[in-house]
Amino acid sequence: MLAVSKPAAAPLPPFPPEPDQGRSDRTDGLAEVRVEGARLRLVELPLVRPFTTSVGTDTVKTALLVELVGDGLRGWGECVADPGPSYFGETLVTARHVLTEYLLPEVVGSPRRPVADHLRRITWVRGHPMAQAALEMALLDLAGQATGRSLAQILGGVRVRVACGVSVGIEATVAATLRAVDGYCAEGYQRVKLKCRPGRDERVVAAVRRAFPTLPLTVDGNAAYTLADLAVLQRLDRYGLLMIEQPLAHDDLVDHARLQALLRTPVCLDESVPSVASARAAIALRAGGMINLKPGRVGGLLAAAAIHDLCGAAGWPTWVGGMLETGIGRAANVALASLPNNTLAGDTSASDRYFSEDLVAEPFRLGLDGTLAVPTRPGLGAEPDPERLARVTTWLERFTGPGTGHG
Ligand code: OSB
Ligand code: MG
């Protein structure tokens, strides 16, 4: 009889280590916390200038804030969901719904517990990472204050100041883009990211590169391209860009891998990495060369830190992105940016790049060297100015715990 033997399977490529879903040992040693009550609110801050990407234009920032109260402490979290689902699937309304109906009831009115236990109680909720991240931020703020540890210390930060870049929206003309870039460079920003879309890409990149030959420069397509646009993406390879951010579909990894194999410029993933597991898949597939860390997109600061660790082990640089946050979310982003593998300047710009008046008592100011100071006070190290908060709040809901209703 003929023996048919299976050919030996090719060895698997080295895979990144298993994810820990971000519920890491970073929470070891934090004091237990009790959450007696919570408030959700919407705040509206006008932007100093309209911000246009391939998916739309924003003129105002609307943020959903989570406020937790326990043991005389107050913890703050900022949810980065937008009014509509054009960048990401969550919206302000879905985040409110999930926080009110599912997430807050797990922690408000519950006994004093280690923060890791509070966080374990919200992991049964699938999806809705922006809602999860907002509650996690507020819990870490409480626990950090109760322990006397800053968020940067909790996450494993190693820097006291972090390098900052700026994300420049699509302007009406190339001349307007050049003026914007010139202004930000004069302020000291270390890197400029140009938002782009098909038809509004190479001409503006070429003009900015000509005017600023040595400026660290990147582009962000916000998923507006396909592999049918390969020719222009390959032409962008000529401009010495630090990276091309999320050119292809928001849920794609395979085509990004094909694209990366054809480009010298590293591809940076943003939308395509909504979790620790997807970061692991991206690394295994070589779907790029770096990842933009946004706590809201991946379910929290601990998950973002876990992705930071995975990327570090894989030799992928990371950097901290932004969602036009108020000073609350900005404090968390700046703490995250202080981690060691964040070797590229972030989209963590100063408060005045977004708002004429930030929500927090101490706005984030750009140093002459293009850096922001990492907050050092326990917890987030930032809280809203009460008078300003009252002025910009457009909706408020009190939450006292499961079974007691809310309203
Ligand atoms: O794609 O990085 C992005 C803002 C909103 C939504 C998505 C993105 C952005 C930015 C701005 O690029 C970054 C910032 O300055 O906060
Ligand atoms: Mg982006």
Over range 233-253, report the average pLDDT: 98
pLDDT single digits (tens) 167-221: 999 999 999 999 999 999 999 999 999 999 999 999 999 999 999 999 999 999 9
**E strand or H helix that includes residue 333:** helix 327-337
Mean pLDDT of the chain: 94
The rounded percent of the chain whose pLDDT value lies above 70 is 93
Instruction: Please tell me if the CB atom of residue 309 comes closer than 6 angstroms to any atom of ligand 1.
Output: no
Over range 246-266, report the average pLDDT: 98
pLDDT single digits (tens) 109-154: 999 999 999 999 999 999 999 999 999 999 999 999 999 999 999 9
* Cα 54 to middle of ligand 1, angstroms: 11
Instruction: Please tell me if the CB atom of residue 348 comes closer than 6 angstroms to any atom of ligand 1.
Output: no
- pLDDT band of residue 267 (cuts 50, 70, 90) is very high
Phi, psi (degrees; rounded to nearest 5) at 126? -90, 145
Protein residue whose Cα sits closest to atom 12 of ligand 1: 167
Q: How far apart are CA 337 and CA 302, in angstroms?
A: 13
Query: pTM for the complete prediction?
Result: 0.95
The rounded percent of the chain whose pLDDT value lies above 90 is 91
The verdict on whether 61 is a catalytic residue reads no
Q: What is the pLDDT of residue 189?
A: 98
Q: Which residue is catalytic, options 6, 61, 193, 195?
A: 195
Q: What is the pLDDT of residue 12?
A: 57
In this structure, the number of other CB atoms found within 10 A of the CB of residue 242 comes to 22
Alpha helices in 84-219 (DSSP H): 92-98, 104-107, 115-120, 129-147, 151-155, 174-187, 202-211
Q: Which ligand is nearest to the CA of 267?
A: 2
Q: DSSP 3-state assignment of 60?
A: strand
pLDDT single digits (tens) 75-92: 999 999 999 999 999 999
* Cα 167 to middle of ligand 2, angstroms: 9
* Cα 154 to middle of ligand 2, angstroms: 26
Instruction: Please tell me if the CB atom of residue 110 comes closer than 6 angstroms to any atom of ligand 1.
Output: no
CB-based neighbours (< 5 A) of ligand 2, an ion: 220, 245, 270
pLDDT single digits (tens) 3-16: 566 767 766 556 66
Q: What is the pLDDT of residue 41?
A: 98
Protein residue whose Cα sits closest to atom 6 of ligand 1: 323
Q: What is the pLDDT of residue 10?
A: 66
Instruction: Please tell me if the CB atom of residue 322 comes closer than 6 angstroms to any atom of ligand 1.
Output: yes
Q: Give 399-407 contacts, CB < 8 A, sequence gap 24+.
A: 399/37, 399/38, 399/39, 399/40, 399/100, 399/104, 399/108, 400/37, 400/108, 400/109, 401/37, 401/105, 401/108, 401/109, 402/105, 402/108, 402/109, 404/109, 406/100
- pLDDT of 407 > 70? The answer is no
Protein residue whose Cα sits closest to atom 14 of ligand 1: 322
The verdict on whether 6 is a catalytic residue reads no
Over range 382-391, report the average pLDDT: 98
- pLDDT band of residue 35 (cuts 50, 70, 90) is very high
Q: Which residue has the higher pLDDT, 51 or 12?
A: 51
Q: What is the pLDDT of residue 400?
A: 83
* Cα 375 to middle of ligand 2, angstroms: 25
Q: How far apart are CA 75 and CA 64, in angstroms?
A: 14
Instruction: Please tell me if the CB atom of residue 323 comes closer than 6 angstroms to any atom of ligand 1.
Output: yes
Query: Domains in the chain and their CATH numbers?
Result: 34-148+385-399 (3.30.390.10), 153-373 (3.20.20.120)
Instruction: Please tell me if the CB atom of residue 351 comes closer than 6 angstroms to any atom of ligand 1.
Output: no
* Cα 87 to middle of ligand 1, angstroms: 9
Over range 233-249, report the average pLDDT: 98
- pLDDT of 2 > 60? The answer is no
Q: What is the pLDDT of residue 14?
A: 62
Instruction: Determine the Cα angle at 242 with ends 236 and 247, to 5°.
Output: 55
